[in-house]
Amino acid sequence: QVQLQESGPGLVKPSGTLSLTCAVSGGSISSTNWWSWVRQPPGKGLEWIGEIYHSGSTNYNPSLKSRVTISVDKSKNQFSLKLTSVTAADTAVYYCARVLSAGALNFDYWGQGTLVTVSS
């Protein structure tokens, strides 16, 4: 059973950098899966941020691409998200998820999510 666990600061100052890590257990990050970040502002819907493969290949949401970096650490079986120049609009629950290719690419395993608030 694959498990994902997000970690990182719950409070980030405006114009600062949001940094989160997703630890993967019960499976290898070097498997044939991509690994994604998805966020959800309070009371709103889901927004895909980007994804990474264990080789380091990435895809990003064009709406966030200039501010996002996703990286992978195979030795620690984890991947990370950095979002720069944050504003209050970046306040959200951030989820990490595994991308499974099964007919349609889907998110089959999710972390429990971590709330990041952007405030001074």
Partner 1 sequence: DIQMTQSPSSLSASVGDRVTITCRASQSISSYLNWYQQKPGKAPKLLIYAAFSLQSGVPSRFSGSGSGTDFTLTISSLQPEDFATYYCQQSYSTLPYTFGQGTKLEIK
Residues making contact with partner 1 (CB under 8 A): 36, 45-48, 51, 59-63, 95, 97, 100, 102-108, 110-113
Q: Which lies closer to partner 1 via its Cβ, residue 43 or residue 120?
A: 43
Q: Which lies closer to partner 1 via its Cβ, residue 7 or residue 47?
A: 47
Residue 110 to residue 112: CA distance in whole angstroms = 6
13 burial via Cβ count (<10 Å: 0-12, 13-18, 19+): exposed
Q: List the one residue out of 105, 86, 3 whose CA is nearest residue 48.
A: 105
Q: Which lies closer to partner 1 via its Cβ, residue 16 or residue 41?
A: 41
Q: Residue 56 Cβ, how far from partner 1 at the closest point, in Å?
A: 16
